Amino acid sequence: MGDTGCVHFAAYVKEYGYDSYSVVHAYFSACINKEARRRKALSCLCYKCGSSGPQLYSCLHCIYFACKGAHINEHYKHTKHFMALELCYGMLYCYQCRDFIYHSKCQAIAERHLRCEARSLDKSLSWRPWSPSRLEIDLLLKNPKRRHVTALTSIGLRGLLNLGSTCFMNCIVQALIHTPLLRDYFLAELHECTTKTAAKCLVCEVSRLFQEFYSAAAASLTTAGTTTATGGTNSGQSQPPDPNPSQCNCIIDQIFTGGLQSDVVCQACKGVSTTIDPFWDISLDLGESSNGQGGYGGPPKSLIDCLERFTRAEHLGSSAKIKCNTCNSYQESTKQLSMRTLPIVASFHLKRFEHSSLVGIDRLIDKKISTFISFPAELDMTPFMSQKKSDQQQSHQTPSSPNFAGGGANGSAGSSMPGVVSTCLPNDDASSDTVSDFRYSLYAVINHVGTLDAGHYTAYVRHQKDIWVKCDDHIITTATLKQVLDSEGYLLFYHKKILEYE
């Protein structure tokens, strides 16, 4: 049986065509519009017992509805009508074959109806399995040899040559290469370059790297093209660039962008001013806490400690008063950060490089913080979400909505100006009825070894489930999860475990 069904369905189509299938599927399976849903509710009942389910079949010869099992079987025995449509999933059933069948043209009709249903209900399409296009079928037929991915496969693993102070870029590339959604995007060749000179397109260069990584070759690669596209090499191994890209709708933005909520509370009237800004990574302080609030004032010992301190309410003090338009005067206030929306990939930057100045010394003091910070293989971000923080404070706060004017807070990663609520983030409704899952799984860690002046970057990446490797420029070695969790993490990459389809 191929993609044209069985010989019995071919005989049915020759006599009846596709009209009966199309009408029944449109009105009683997919329900393409409001009228179809009304008709299904009124007439889609078993003609034998009057039941509406749980699983109904429709005869495609005479449009007879019956329950799965005895009732539809009895109809077939009396009429010899052998083609039926299962209405819950829209599958064709042949009683002469005693099996479900697949037909490519019927599948195309069904998918068109499902798109109409989604538009009619203003909802997203449900998950559909991948089906190859004609071009992909031709390529598969022309290339019958298959590469079987096993636990010990090296496909997707390539070393990267150090071109001179490019170890940090090499680590970033390794982390991006092992980001599942990015891999699927570039290996599917979904990038369409709009740059006149492709040699200057960074995304084209990244796409080329993905193709090279998964070509099953063993030789080390070079990131010379990537370096050229980004405008040069990283001048210092210990101090990587800290870009702040503008928000767009590219694949990088879709995967890495989240929404950071800042709540500034006037201490006089308890009014709250909320700002929502996009973020691409979260920078976390490792030094001594600026105040003793929140249960501890010392340095954090874990990623959870860092996140708790990052989202803890901070008193701005008398030197950073903010004008409250409700009080019509400058008032002391508190500021609290929380996660309004989370990206698919959450990136955490542990600020191990500290630049400070001492009293009486007219120069900066640079040092590296080598404190061990533990981080989990599985991370639940629920306690740090805006809605969760709001629920915790609801019992003892009475919010109002004044406007603030003026300054910000000290030392937050991701600037935000109180007084304006940003609306640039899609789907940032924290009060949505949709229950989201905020669990994440670790898949890449970038480490810095050595001192501030003379250091080197290496990376651990998850190659497959429970299989980790260490990437040290052109050298790739196997690693264990214990080695990863015991490492001196500098950048941590977590991937969302459950994705909501849009």
Q: What is the 3-state secondary structure (H, E, C) of 184-225?
A: HHHHCCCCCCCCCCHHHCHHHHHHHHHHHHCCCCCCCECCHH
Pick the CATH number of 258-280+300-342 from 3.40.640.10, 2.20.210.10, 3.40.50.10140, 3.30.70.1450: 2.20.210.10
What per-residue confidence (pLDDT) applies to 405? 45
pLDDT of the residue at 456: 93
Q: How far apart (Å, rounded) are the C-alpha atoms in residues 454 and 39?
A: 74
Among candidate residues 59, 67, 94, 167, the one labeled active-site is 167
The DSSP code sequence of 325-394 is TTTTEEE-EEEEEEEEE--SEEEEEEE-EEEEE-TT--SEEEEE-----B--SEEE-GGGBHHHHHHHHG
Those residues whose C-beta lies under 8 Å from the C-beta of residue 359, and which sit 6 or more positions away, are: none
> Which range, 167-171, 219-223, 268-272, has the best average confidence (pLDDT)?
167-171
Residue 334, pLDDT score: 86
CA distance 474 to 218: 11
Amino acid letter at 99? D
Residue 251, H or E segment: helix 251-256
- Answer with the residue of higher pLDDT: 198 or 327: 327
Poorest-confidence range of 56-60, 141-145, 360-364? 360-364
- What is the residue type of 267? Q
Helix, strand, coil % over all residues of the chain, rounded to 5: 30, 25, 45
Q: Residue 396: is it exposed, middle or buried by C-beta count within 10 angstroms (0-12/13-18/19+)?
A: exposed
- Residue whose C-alpha is closest to residue 384's, from 284, 498, 246: 284
- What pLDDT score was predicted for residue 247? 54
Which region among 180-194, 222-236, 326-340 has the lowest average model confidence (pLDDT)?
A: 222-236
Identity of the residue numbered 491: L
Contacts of 296 (CB under 8 A, 6+ apart): 289, 305
Give percent above pLDDT 70 in the chain.
Answer: 78
pLDDT at 227 over 50: yes
| Range in 35-39, 209-213, 316-320, 473-477 the model is least confident about | 316-320
High-pLDDT (> 90) share of the chain, %: 36
Report the C-alpha gap between 280 and 477 in whole angstroms.
30
Identify the weakest region by mean pLDDT among 357-371, 412-426, 460-474: 412-426
The token pair that represents 82 in the structure block: 């052998």
Q: What is the pLDDT of residue 59?
A: 94
Please give the Cα distance from 267 to 324 (Å, whole number).
Answer: 10
DSSP annotation of 60: T
281-302 per-position pLDDT tens digit: 999 988 776 554 444 467 899 9
- The pLDDT, as a whole number, for residue 230 is 55
Nearest in space to 370 (alpha carbons), one of 488, 257, 288: 488
Q: Are 384 and 260 within 8 A, CB to CB?
A: no
State residue 219's pLDDT score.
Answer: 82
Question: What does the pLDDT average to over 205-216?
Answer: 85
| Average per-residue pLDDT for the chain | 80
Look up the CATH superfamily of 7-121: Zinc/RING finger domain, C3HC4 (zinc finger) (3.30.40.10)
Q: What is the pLDDT of residue 277?
A: 92
In the chain, CATH 2.20.210.10 sits at: 258-280+300-342
pLDDT at residue number 55: 85
- On the question of a cis peptide bond just before residue 278, with omega within 30 degrees of 0, the verdict is no
pLDDT of residue 343: 93
What angle (nearest 5°) sits at the alpha carbon of residue 495, between those of residues 492 and 501? 155
**C-alpha to C-alpha distance for 149 and 144, rounded to whole angstroms:** 16
Provide the token pair at 248.
């767009």
Residues 6 or more apart whose Cβ sits within 8 Å of residue 194: none
Q: Quick one: average pLDDT of 251-258?
A: 90
Lowest mean pLDDT segment, chosen from 75-84, 315-324, 396-405, 474-483: 396-405
* Residue entry with tokens 């008063």: 321
pLDDT digits (tens, 9 = 90+) for 373-422: 999 999 999 999 988 766 666 655 544 444 444 433 333 333 333 333 33
Query: In the structure encoding, which two tokens stand for residue 448, read together?
Result: 């810095």
Between these two residues, 363 and 329, which has the higher pLDDT value?
329
Higher pLDDT residue, 208 or 399? 208
At 450, the pLDDT band (50, 70, 90 cuts) reads confident
- Residue 270's CB is within 10 A of a number of other CB atoms, namely 13
- Find the mean pLDDT for residues 113-127: 82
Paired tokens of 355? 């630049």
Residue-level pLDDT at 399: 45
Q: Which helix (H) or strand (E) holds 307?
A: helix 303-310
Q: Which of 308, 335, 309 is nearest to 322 (CA)?
A: 335
CB 459 within 8 A of CB 445: yes
> With 80 as the cut, is the pLDDT of residue 500 above it?
no
Specify which of 124-128, 149-153, 374-378 reaches the highest per-range mean pLDDT. 374-378
- Please give the average per-residue pLDDT across 137-146, as a whole number: 82
Check whether 260 has a pLDDT greater than 90. Answer: yes
Q: What is the pLDDT of residue 331?
A: 80
Query: What's the token pair of residue 478?
Result: 């196997």
The neighbour count for residue 421, using CB atoms within 10 Å, is 11
pLDDT above 70 for 213 = yes
Please give the pLDDT value at position 437: 83
Query: Using an 8 Å Cβ cutoff, are 406 and 322 in contact?
Result: yes
Would residue 167 show up in a list of annotated catalytic residues for this protein? Answer: yes
Active site residue 67: no
Q: For residues 58 and 24, is the Cβ–Cβ distance under 8 A?
A: yes
Q: With bands split at pLDDT 50, 70 and 90, how would you rate the model's confidence at 232?
A: low
User: Between β-strands 345-351 and 282-285, what pairing exists: parallel, antiparallel or unpaired?
Assistant: parallel
Q: Is the pLDDT of residue 425 over 60?
A: no
Residue 94 backbone phi and psi in degrees, to 5: -110, 120
8 A C-beta contact, residue 439 and residue 497: yes
Q: Report how far residue 237's alpha carbon sits from residue 453's, in angstroms, rounded to the nearest whole number.
A: 8
Which has more confidence, 397 or 466? 466
